[in-house]
Structure formats: structure tokens, C-alpha cells
């Protein structure tokens, strides 16, 4: 896998597809509330990518806002 990819939604989608092909589907993805996963202006607070992952039985866990240590 490449060392870096764009952190926008398309870059994250590509990175996830590559990771899933290599390692299989995860049960959980932990996110830092970045825009590819969260949508502040959506009533659900979820992006289309998160909704799609949840529909495939992948749980999305989010760090608390302004708590970067949650990501460790």
C-alpha cells in the first residue's frame, strides 16, 4: 500500500478498499471525526462513507471532539 494518500473522502475510500483487500473487512473503524467519516451538517452526523460502512456491518467509533488522545 502507498505510504500516503489524500485525506479527502475519495482518498480514504481508495485506502479502505486496498486495506480491505489486503486484510479483510474490519468489525470496527475508529475515526477522529474527520470529514470523510463525519458530517456536521447532516442530521445523523454521518457521512455517506460512514453510512455505507455501517450498512456492511462495520461499526464506526468516533473520538470525542477536541480529544486527540482518544485516537491512540
Q: Is there a domain that residue 61 lies in?
A: yes
**How many C-beta neighbours within 10 Å does residue 17 have?**
10
The CA distance from 48 to 45, in Å, is: 10
The pLDDT value recorded for residue 39 is 76
Q: Is there a domain that residue 53 lies in?
A: yes
The pLDDT value recorded for residue 37 is 84
- The count of structural domains within the chain is 1
Stretch (H or E) spanning 49: helix 48-55
Q: Is there a domain that residue 11 lies in?
A: no
Residue range(s) defining the domain that contains residue 35? 26-71
Tell if the pTM clears 0.85, that is, is over it. no
Q: Is there a domain that residue 19 lies in?
A: no
Q: Is there a domain that residue 21 lies in?
A: no
The CA distance from 7 to 29, in Å, is: 15
Q: Is there a domain that residue 16 lies in?
A: no
pLDDT digits (tens, 9 = 90+) for 14-72: 999 999 999 999 999 998 878 888 877 777 788 889 999 999 999 999 888 777 677 66
The pLDDT value recorded for residue 64 is 81
Closest by Cα among 29, 49, 27, 28 to 38? 49
Stretch (H or E) spanning 30: strand 28-31
Q: Is there a domain that residue 55 lies in?
A: yes
Amino acid at each position: 500500500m502507498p505510504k500516503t494518500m489524500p485525506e479527502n473522502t475519495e482518498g480514504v475510500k481508495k485506502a479502505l478498499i486496498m486495506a480491505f483487500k489486503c486484510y479483510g473487512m474490519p468489525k470496527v473503524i475508529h475515526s477522529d471525526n474527520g470529514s470523510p467519516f463525519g458530517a456536521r451538517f447532516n442530521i445523523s452526523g454521518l457521512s455517506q462513507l460512514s453510512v455505507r460502512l455501517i450498512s456492511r456491518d462495520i461499526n464506526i467509533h468516533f473520538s470525542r471532539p477536541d480529544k486527540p488522545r482518544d485516537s491512540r
